[in-house]
Structure 1
């Protein structure tokens, strides 16, 4: 028995190897048939394996945070299974009566199995080692043992090598070298294992420390990029993600390769960890191992992704409870991210120790940017990094806790990890010494926040050191706080810091192609400080159990004066935080062709400067949510709203007259189509005035071509990719009849399309002209010819009633089944004040296939005419808005009618089938 498992209680309750060995010997005595013996062995070992896993699972539920103990127990169980199967194989299946010197075999655990850190369904990484080239007997034994392990349902990562082959492979392959670094004797010829270990040290490790370190750090960086390069993604990979177990393993591997330590605590004696850092390492590793073991238990297989659908269950298994403003799952995930942050802190200080050991005097082993700034106000440079002259430097003047980051930003310097560690240790001085009340400290912080260089990086360092949350305690409350939904990709603090980085990129013209309007605006804002502070504070009140916009606006009134903002700047920041969701909600959920929408929005905004600031804040807020959330369609809608609102704010209500606007659009459309006056007039007279107001010129031109091509056909469908909007414009010209809208929507859904906007028009000669903006499931236009053919055919079939839509729509599963981890209570808002002409209906519901079709069918059943529809999705939540009238074109203002409509829409939003179209 190795020391690794000495701490396990009642090991025989997990597996009793001696008792099982006796039973296996008895089974072998019952028959001489090798096949029968092997089958009997596998059956008995499978029972033992299942019973052992059940016992480990029971212990984990009793002690849900015992990650290391659970991992070691699993490795112990695996050891005994491997030993029993090996003994049975060499004694009862392929006995060697007089083994030669070459017929020796050692079983070596490598990788995570060698380390003893095995989750319940981890791979069994095992090496079969022979002194020379394999003999027929060793081949038989290895093959038989592998089949046994596979028959037991174990996933085995294996290698079969001679001593020379092992050394050669370790020299050539970093993965093999790393796996063998964790090698542990399991069973077989112990002398052979000792010989292999000695040769590995002498021939692979000796003299190669620098190359190994460089290779492992490069491998780590590549892995981080693959996993999203942030430790604050809300669905992290516990093993491979940034801040996960693999990062801790990398530190141990480096220390083990350099100093040949056997355990993590020995890294303290080697000078690569302090005693405090060792405790930090142990806590993080134990927690992450516990989470990984729970993940495996829940999935019943190897699973390392902490997805939404299991987060709630693991929080319950680990006995997290709800607190005011925070659910149990959010508390669990916050602790996860704090441990991931701790892993990042450890990595920095570990590498600093490593640098000191490996670098030549006055130089760096790890690459850095070499700078020699002048005035450092008492701070010093250590191999090109900003460092402290003494451990009590922050205590002498706690404002230096802010100043070190301001200097790092001003001079483009890295901060020495030892200085970061001291900052973490001394961060409490910010509270105890009243640093927040010091004007110089606030000015330095504001310099970092509004830096024209790289505020994102320096603020992230400040956050990693715990200084950010101490200096702005309201920000400290959202550090590592996740948002339990499928829309947000990062924790609140990471989202905020990324948004500040995006704002800096926009201001510095680094995103001009993506955001030309915002880039132009940033050159003309009256106060840079206002927009940077607003971005900092926009989500700062999340997790407090109320409307974070209102609470955040109140916080801004308190925080801004402290940071040195004027009364006018403070008022503007507070307003921006209060209304930071207004522009997106208006652009994505309302009909921008309805002038009342623009007037209502402008009435809240009130000034062109606020409008400019709000647009920039909205853009960076949406982009910082995560990859794939921003698209050209959102950019187009926000730009349309900005332009319309700016015109109102500049000119008041005296816009260009309705007739002038229509005439201007007609003139531009005629120019685009290159038609003579007579031909254009013939087309234009078919369309009512409301159409010319509602549609942009590009869509009008596409519609007129569509009408031309249709001729006198009763149905004509066309689809044109629109790169500016990031969607495909689907145009349907058909005889108008009730239910047209929901049938078209059903056909588009069947073709795999997502409708993001829809406008419904009726021509003067009684035809319906419906425009849909459609994207594929990945948020891109339908551009391929086959896609467009499939789309138009599906609409034709739906309108012709050639197939039952309901069964086909219901068969289309949500693209991400983890959406089922969320429950969005359906809600319906019916507003008769938002538009002068229409009743505006907003439906919030859980996103699912054909939701729009079901809602449209409910409106059809309610005898309501849909004039436009606007679709927005926020992860698992869908928000569908309809502009409607009754069948004679009036608003729906009868209280009884409103209640009936609300009831039917709620049923449609909540149901997957009852209210969907049946044919």
Structure 2
């Protein structure tokens, strides 16, 4: 026997062994089984004295483990679920209570956290009628210490009452619990901060699958079940792999958090790569440097905490000379999370299939078989095969099954799904990319506008691994995430969403939201190149180098393999190479510059390619995250398309400048008239006239707009006006989310600036009239900044500690008349104030500005008079100092 001190030391050593083996052992189930065995031995040794002393008074007693310990999946900091089983309901309560205390206290003293319940067999069986947890614990329960006879009798009674032939009600309860839980935890695998236990495809789904197997077959051993023909080898392999990945991630998560954590938030995503061996181990010297780097370089309290957390694992001074940069850390995080998404997806899909096969056979005869052809038929509203092993013999027929599923609007039967899944793992299926028939069938499925559903048929092909069999380049992006708050989908899910949106546009479902896109899609006689380019537009993200250049090479290879004609291959490669061009130009450049339009038109080449690039750009932007393609982004993209189309139609001849109506501001660039509707232009004109009539210096008008507030500032233009406005907004806790800055070339010149804003306090409803009046008053005053600008405040509370690096770029507009300054940096309160003040202090007047905030990134563009190299260097140095 051991005492609590010895037990605590033994458990510490077991956790350290787990930590040491975690980088080398890919199967977390192996590691947690070893840890669970050590914990179980420790519990038995600590509990036996109390059970032995109580047995003469309390009859036959047994201490049972349930939950994760019973399944040998206990995390390093998980709670222990234990049951003290006593036979006699009339045992004195004080005797049982004293026994429970004597069992639990040594466990607490040893550093464990036991949840100890006391049951009699009769009470446990009765409670399981209404309590699903009690029912599943009957399947999990294993004796840790004491007399095993009561537990054996209990299991036998439970099998007769709830499981085996009587399992139907239990299986329904399991499926109801899964549906409810999935809805409660987001309803999708593709959450960037998932719950490893409760989320869709998480460890709770694995537990549900095990319970269904045990209730049906009397065992949850996948090897035994495969040998008996109850579970196919492909499902066994995928489920075992998914389980091992999820358990390994959970072990790393709990070691990083040092507590029973299940939600994999950004903060902990940044701590687990060293534990998994994807970065130097925190216990090494380089691991200490990593902690120091995070603490000193991320520039936030959270970053400091992360650095301290990593350094604390090594037990050494966090100050180090080396470092692991953010890019390397992000790559490691994304690799770890790709493993999670793939595992969760497999657990969700194949676990659900295994549970479905556990359902009792219906009492009625099988529905009538209705043949569709010599290979396929419908039975009970589901697609079935009439020949065994047809997919293994000819995997390309899986695409015929998917096409029939879509054509007849039915689901695959469980047996058909399993057969395709098994065949997708064969060597013959891995050669599908060389089969022209497979390429033809995938293209037909890809461009089918009527492919709807959740999942769509194309999405089901992804789940069954058929896409990566025909397009091997798809495999590396399956389940690949991007560790930031801008992208909320994995790369493959984002891509499938983009293809699905193209199909909705083709069906006319976005006619009101995107009328131009709808009309343009209708004008395409063959959308194959567009859809194929959309399918592979982000394939370059899985490889090193520029994603557009790499993606273009991949697109060319995929298009050639698909049998497209050489001009179509070229166009597909071009679309992928340029898929970021139109969004970047429309949001970051002056669209009233005719030379900019000329360069784009000559770069794209013809109207068809321009139309396809516009549609790809639109769906790519829209499907990054909900709400990303707001009205102003769409307006700018539409304007860029129409201007470029106009050039392609006219050749080199320039279009006439737009002429303002009498009640609109005159002399403004074309972009102004495109960006704002006539009513807003009339309001701007009225505000400018009021400014002059009242001899004011500035007027503010606040209006509600989609997703934010629109703050219009009409002011007498003067040096440093934008910097003054940014300071006033910052002082009043008003956050600028986006800005468009224009100057009307009248005498005196009048600035018409439109800001998308919101209160910095998330709990605030809006901006009250008193605050608006105070800002207006401040803008009326002279502005003379002194000293360094105020320190950057802590950035908005989100979970990641990875800092967006400050990048400052200089470019000339096509005519060489202005310098374009592109500033990207970490978004934080006060950033715009510091940027605009730097311009003012260097003596540069901002002629046009485009400011935008997306998640954690500030992306601002400023047009100024031409800057020579010395002026660029000075401005860069001041910006970097102010933004550090």
The TM-score, its normalising length taken from structure 2, stands at 0.82
- C-alpha change, 1:146 and 1:881, in structure 2 (3 Å) is farther
Q: Which of 375-384 and 531-540 deviates more?
A: 375-384
Alignment of 1:246-257 (within 5 A): 246-257=204-215
Matched, 1:132 2:89: yes
- Report the CA distance between 1:438 and its aligned residue: 4.8
Q: Deviations over 1:476-531 (max 9, x none)?
A: 34333344444333333332222212211221233444433323332222322232
2:265 aligned with 1:284, yes or no? Answer: no
Say which is worse superposed, 438-447 or 790-799, in terms of deviation.
790-799
Distance 1:694 1:468, change over 3 A: closer
Pick from 67, 70, 83: which aligns with 2:31?
70
Give the one of 863, 871, 878 matched to 1:904.
878
Q: 1:773 to 1:603 in 2, by over 3 A?
A: farther
How far apart in 2 are the matches of 1:485 and 1:433? 33
CA contact (8 A) 2:54 2:99 kept: no
Q: Is the contact made by 2:698 and 2:776 (CA closer than 8 Å) also made in structure 1?
A: no
Who is 1:217 aligned against? Answer: 175
Task: Flag the 1:61–1:275 CA change in 2: closer, same or farther, 3 A.
Answer: closer
How do 1:656-675 and structure 2 match up within 5 A?
657-658=656-657, 661-664=658-661, 666-667=662-663, 669=664
Once structures 1 and 2 are overlaid, which stretch shifts more, 80-89 or 224-233?
Answer: 80-89
Residue matched to 2:264? 306
1:425, CA displacement in angstroms? 4.5
Match of 1:719 in 2: 702
Q: Deviations over 1:614-662 (max 9, x none)?
A: 222112212332334333333333233334444444455666643xx33
Number of equivalenced pairs: 829
Q: How well do the aligned residues superpose, as a CA RMSD in angstroms? A: 4.2
Distance 1:526 1:62, change over 3 A: closer
The C-alpha deviation readout for 1:431-482, integer Å capped at 9, x for no partner, is 6897555544333222111112216622222223332212122323433334
Aligned to 2:743: 761
Shift in CA distance, 183/397, structure 1 to aligned 2, threshold 3 Å: closer
CA change 1:193–1:604 in 2 (3 A) is same
Give 1:785 shift.
4.7
Distance apart, 1:862 and its partner CA: 1.3
Give the structure 2 partner of residue 99 of structure 1. 57
What corresponds to 1:859 in structure 2?
Answer: 839
Which secondary structure state, in structure 2, belongs to the residue aligned with residue 490 of structure 1? coil
State how far apart, in whole Å, the 2-side matches of 1:395 and 1:201 are.
38
TM-aligned CA deviation for residue 883 of structure 1: 1.5
1:684-695 equivalences under 5 Å are: none
1:51 counterpart residue number: 12
Structure 2: unaligned runs, 5 residues or longer: 281-326
1:24-39 to 2 correspondences below 5 Å: none
Does the residue aligned with 2:2 lie in a helix, a strand or coil? Answer: helix
Deviation at residue 251 of structure 1 after TM alignment: 1.0
* Alpha-carbon shift at residue 187 of structure 1 (Å): 4.1
CA distance in 2 between counterparts of 1:49 and 1:850 reads 52
Matched-pair contact (CA < 8 Å) for 2:403–2:445: yes
Per-residue deviation at 1:882?
0.9
Matched-pair contact (CA < 8 Å) for 2:182–2:200: yes
Q: How does 1:390-401 map to 2 (within 5 A)?
A: 390-394=387-391, 396-401=393-398
Partner of 1:915: none
Task: State the distance in 2 between where 1:834 and 1:607 align.
Answer: 21
CA deviation digits over 1:207-242, x for unaligned, max 9? 542222223223323433444444354544332333
Q: Name the SS of the counterpart of 1:291 in structure 2.
A: helix
Tell whether 2:111 aligns with 1:112. no
Question: 8 Å contact 1:847–1:877 — kept in the other structure?
Answer: yes
What is the distance in 2 between the residues matched to 1:391 and 1:69?
A: 36
Pairing partner for 1:200 from 150, 158, 166: 158
Native 8 Å contact 1:740 1:799 kept in 2: no
Q: Which residue of 2 is the match for residue 622 of structure 1?
A: 621
**Secondary structure of residue in 2 paired with 1:864:** coil
**Residues 640, 720 of structure 1: CA spacing in aligned structure 2 closer, same or farther, 3 A cutoff?**
farther
Alpha carbons 1:731, 1:772 under 8 Å: kept: yes
Give, in whole Å, the separation in 2 of the partners of 1:222 and 1:840: 53
Identify the residue that residue 732 of structure 1 maps to in structure 2: 713
Q: Which residue of 1 aligns with 2:358?
A: 354
Distance 1:423 1:694, change over 3 A: closer
Tell me how far apart the structure 2 counterparts of residues 808 and 319 of structure 1 sit (CA, whole Å): 41
SS at match of 1:99: helix
Matched residue of 2:590: which SS?
Answer: coil
Q: 1:325, 1:543 within 8 Å by CA — same for their partners in 2?
A: no
SS of the equivalent of 2:541 reads: coil
Q: Please give the secondary structure, in 1, of the residue aligned with 2:177.
A: helix
Alpha-carbon distance in 2 for matches of 1:378, 1:703: 68
Q: In structure 2, the residue corresponding to 1:19 is in which secondary structure?
A: coil
TM-score (ref. length: structure 1)? 0.79
Asked if the contact 1:252–1:264 (Cα under 8 Å) also holds between the matched residues in 2, the reply is no
1:538 has 2:537 as partner: yes
User: Which runs of no fewer than 5 residues in structure 1 stay unpaired?
Assistant: 1-17, 21-40, 365-369, 670-683, 886-890, 912-919
Q: Which of the residues 170, 195, 201 maps onto 1:243?
A: 201
Tell me the distance in 2 between the aligned counterparts of 1:764 and 1:156: 77
